[in-house]
Amino acid sequence: MALKRGLTEAVTLGITHISICCDHHQIFELVLGRSVPEKDSIALLMEDVERIRQQLTSTTPVLVTGNQTKSAYKLAMETLVSEISICMPPHASDDQKTKKKDSCRFCFEDGFEAEQMFYVAVCRHQFCVECMKHYVENSLLRGCFQMKCPKHDCSSELTIKSCANLLSPKLRDIWEKKIKKGSMDDPWHECKKCQHMNENSSGNLQVTCRK
């Protein structure tokens, strides 16, 4: 059975030339065709073996000793282990296996590392940094400086302080100028300490810090 399976695997792999190593003289004689099987089951098996051998270009029976068989087996196993070690990807560390990936609520992409995410300070809704950069930039270029969390129905405010890592010097300058301009004709005013927006309909520009 082992001989039949080995020959079948050789055909499957596209191997055309093989040596059939036999460590038993009777098996060697059967493979050579110089001996007649005594049992019908062996005869049927050898017929299958012969049929498979015909699909190969050459199959050479070789009589080997027990020690030679063990050495060949050991060498084959060492070769297999070596090949498997080369092909297998490196094992991930426990930290890598358990490290959680984040999802962006804006673009709905996932697989982000923690350092690639932006968390809104108050509500803790999370978005990828790239989406937030575009959101803040587009809002400022449209003239809006009173930005809120991008999540639908969330009223948490975005401030210059909380968005510092998203702003280029140019965008920061635009935001600051819009805040100053807005304080002259808008009932909303931003506290310079806590960056919260305060509504003051009385016309008094003095605001109360929430800290």
**Where do the domains of the chain lie, and which CATH numbers do they carry?**
2-81 (3.30.420.10), 100-185 (3.30.40.10)
- Retrieve residue 82's tokens: 């070596």
Query: How far apart (Å, rounded) are the C-alpha atoms in residues 36 and 94?
Result: 60
Q: Residue 72 has what pLDDT?
A: 67
3-state SS record for the chain = CHHHHHHHHHHHCCCCEEEEEECCHHHHHHHHCCCCCCCHHHHHHHHHHHHHHCCCCEEEEEECCHHHHHHHHHHHHHHHHHHHHHHCCCCCCHHHHHCCCEECCCCCCEEECHHHEEECCCCCCEEEHHHHHHHHHHHHHCCCCCCECCCCCCCCECCCCCCHHHCCHHHHHHHHHHHHHHHHHCCEEECCCCCCEEECCCCCCCCCCCC
What integer pLDDT is reported at residue 144 of this predicted model?
A: 83
Contact 49, 4 (CB under 8 A): yes
**Which pLDDT value is given to residue 50?**
85
Residue-level pLDDT at 48: 82
Query: At CA 207, angle to CA 202 and CA 211, rounded to 5?
Result: 145
Query: Residues 69, 19: contact at Cβ < 8 Å?
Result: no
Cα–Cα distance between 52 and 84 in angstroms, integer? 28
Q: How do the pLDDT tens digits run along the chain, 211 residues long?
A: 677 887 888 888 888 887 887 877 888 888 888 878 888 888 888 888 888 888 888 888 888 776 766 776 676 666 545 544 444 455 555 555 455 678 888 888 888 888 888 888 788 888 999 999 999 888 888 888 788 888 888 888 888 888 888 888 888 888 888 877 765 455 555 565 665 555 555 444 455 666 5
d(CA 154, CA 205): 27
Specify the pairing of strand 58-63 against strand 17-22: parallel
Q: What is the pTM of this model?
A: 0.41
